[in-house]
Chains A and B, each alone.
Chain A
Amino acid sequence: AQRVTQPEKLLSVFKGAPVELKCNYSYSGSPELFWYVQYSRQRLQLLLRHISRESIKGFTADLNKGETSFHLKKPFAQEEDSAMYYCALSIRGGYSTLTFGKGTMLLVSP
């Protein structure tokens, strides 16, 4: 069975500092990886998916199959980035549900 691990429950940084939210996964096949975000008093929403290789709100994430990781990065954190971030995995091809990690709370201080 697939598994997603987010080792940090809380990540606290100062505004302008680089951010890296860690995500590791275990799955023997070809997964699709995603980051979901939940801002305060807002709904959980999709932030980005690895296959699109896009930058959303300055965040990027690269799938490293060798290290089975999908870390979320941003070079300069902003206060509005403070939120709960969940890494999620889906099995590529065919129908699949999402397996979520336990989440990392990012706090960006002024």
Chain B
Amino acid sequence: DGGITQSPKYLFRKEGQNVTLSCEQNLNHDAMYWYRQDPGQGLRLIYYSQIVNDFQKGDIAEGYSVSREKKESFPLTVTSAQKNPTAFYLCASSIGAARAYEQYFGPGTRLTVT
């Protein structure tokens, strides 16, 4: 199950605080993705990055920010502007653009904001 890791597994924050979720991969994949998973909502794409120093907004990017300074790392910051931040967050990677369909997922981080 190695290859893509997310930390921590559980994260608790007070409302109004920014929080950064970690995602690291050692698969030498070019592309990385962040999803939000809510009960009954499936997976919704927040941000994705095809290559280092480049990223694009997904379907629900408002209130989130990312960076891609290294190939292995794609951290997600949940800002205080995100109205409903409590959720399960999944990170994924794929070899590259041509095989974006074959994504390898991390174990997820459950964020609770009170």
Query: Which chain A residues have a beta carbon within 8 Å of chain B's beta carbons?
Result: 6, 9, 32, 34, 42-46, 49, 86, 88, 90, 94-103
Q: Which 4 pairs across A and B sit closest by C-beta, in order of nearness?
A: A102-B42, A95-B97, A100-B43, A44-B105
Q: Are A103 and B42 in contact (CB under 8 A)?
A: yes
For A49, the chain B residues whose CB sits under 8 A away are 101-102
Chain A, Cβ-Cβ closest to B96: A95
1/0 per position for B68-108, CB-CB distance to A under 8 A?
Answer: 00000000000000000000001010000110111111111
B64 proximal to A (CB < 8 A) = no
Of the residues A9, A43, A88, A101, contact of B107 by C-beta under 8 Å: A43
For A94, the chain B residues whose CB sits under 8 A away are 97
Interface size of B by Cβ–Cβ distance < 8 Å?
25
Chain B, Cβ-Cβ closest to A34: B101
CA of A9 to CA of B26, assembled, Å: 34
Interface centre among B41, B42, B102, B104 (most CB of A within 10 A): B42
Majority-rule SS of A interface residues: loop
Q: Which of B13-66 contact A (CB under 8 A)?
A: 33, 35, 40-45, 48, 50, 58
For B41, the chain A residues whose CB sits under 8 A away are 102
Query: Which chain B residues have a beta carbon within 8 Å of chain A's beta carbons?
Result: 1, 33, 35, 40-45, 48, 50, 58, 90, 92, 97-98, 100-108
CA of A102 to CA of B38, assembled, Å: 9
Of the residues A90, A102, A103, contact of B101 by C-beta under 8 Å: A90
Of the residues B42, B58, B108, contact of A97 by C-beta under 8 Å: B58
For B33, the chain A residues whose CB sits under 8 A away are 97
CA of A100 to CA of B90, assembled, Å: 13
Of the residues A42, A95, A97, A102, contact of B40 by C-beta under 8 Å: A102
Q: Are A96 and B100 in contact (CB under 8 A)?
A: yes
Supposing A43-B1, A97-B33, A97-B58 touch, asked if A86 and B100 sit within 8 A by C-beta, the answer is no
Q: Are B90 and A95 in contact (CB under 8 A)?
A: no
